Amino acid sequence: MIHARNIQKEFDSFVALKGVDFDIDKNGIFGIIGHNGAGKTTLLKICAGLLTPTSGTLEIDGINVIADPNALKERLGYLPEESRLYDTMTISSYLSFFGEIYGMPRREIKLRSEELLSSLNLDDEGKKLGELSKGMRRKVAIARSLLHDPTILVYDEATSGLDPMSSRFITGYFRKLRDEGKMIIISAHNLFQVEEISDIVMILSEGEKVAFGTMDELREQFGSLTYYIHFRIREPESLGEHLLFSQDDGGFVSTAKDIDQLNRITSQIDAAGGNVERIESRYPTLEEMLMAV
């Protein structure tokens, strides 16, 4: 559960967050998206208790994060956008080091590390962290964030630098953690991924919340179904200048917002000697929503 009221953050005279409010009543995956500089990392750091907002209140799972950020620490797994690892350590010595910082008993550190390495598909071949690939290093950072079995996860661009297989694996892993009842707050530039796994999405733009809700609620907010009319035509210029269309997969595509417009366009294509191949209808994707804000 998260209750945020009027979260503002100023850096000197620059206002990075301009009074963000939201409520999430059930644990699950909360995706924050927005263009570069929208304020995603700033909001994530505030949620992780690592940055104090200039004003506002924030409660996560009953903890007053701003007044008592330390109370969150035990329950928090935080993954920054770029996590620094100690290059000369091996994976297991690195995880042991952090386990000890968390005050975990040695035996538990060992068991938990083995469990995480195996479920993240990470082989500890005794290599030094500095010798690992970027994707493997990201997985080590993810393992570290999960070592103490936190219930609240704050992940900034968790899958950046991962190949598609590893990236899919991590999103699958998030679903598993969600099913275990954890609260997972993520930001990602991969909008398809956010759309696929988030229970609630927020779109931030220049420090303001411009949309918030389930994907179904966002689809309603960002307009209705659009019809995509895919067609072929020998002489596209004969369609006249009033019909908007673009090239698509060897043919052309035009869009209609309702059935009347759809009928008009298909008749126009027909009259110009074209051939409608298929008509698709779909709601806007998260990417199209972000383009619209």
Ligand X SMILES: Nc1ncnc2c1ncn2[C@@H]1O[C@H](COP(=O)(O)OP(=O)(O)OP(=O)(O)O)[C@@H](O)[C@H]1O
Which residues lie near ligand X (CB under 6 A)? 11, 14, 16, 34, 36-42
Query: What is the enclosing helix (H) or strand (E) of 6?
Result: strand 2-11
CB of 229 to ligand X, least distance (A): 35
Of 16 and 152, nearer to ligand X (C-beta) is 16
Of 20 and 104, nearer to ligand X (C-beta) is 20
**Which residues in 122-171 belong to E strands, given as ranges?**
152-156
Strand order in the sheet with 208-213: 76-79, 152-156, 183-187, 29-34, 200-205, 208-213
Is residue 136 exposed (0-12), middle (13-18) or buried (19+ Cβ within 10 Å)? buried
Find all residues with CB under 8 Å of 104, minimum gap 6, and list them: 112, 147, 148
Of 19 and 251, nearer to ligand X (C-beta) is 19
Q: Cα torsion for 70, 74, 80, 83, to the nearest 10°? A: 110
Q: 251: which strand partners?
A: 248
CB of 43 to ligand X, least distance (A): 7
Of 54 and 119, nearer to ligand X (C-beta) is 54
Of 16 and 116, nearer to ligand X (C-beta) is 16
* Residue reference for tokens 């008592």: 68
Closest CA to 5 of 25, 17, 21: 21
Structure tokens at 36: 């570069």
CB of 91 to ligand X, least distance (A): 27
CB of 42 to ligand X, least distance (A): 3
Q: 219: which strand partners?
A: none
86 vs 79: CA distance, rounded Å: 15
CB of 207 to ligand X, least distance (A): 7
CB of 209 to ligand X, least distance (A): 13
CB of 141 to ligand X, least distance (A): 17
Of 39 and 284, nearer to ligand X (C-beta) is 39
Question: Which CB contacts under 8 angstroms, 24+ apart, belong to 8-11?
Answer: 8/53, 8/54, 8/55, 8/56, 9/39, 9/42, 9/46, 9/51, 9/53, 9/54, 9/207, 10/54
Of 14 and 237, nearer to ligand X (C-beta) is 14
CB of 208 to ligand X, least distance (A): 12
Of 40 and 139, nearer to ligand X (C-beta) is 40
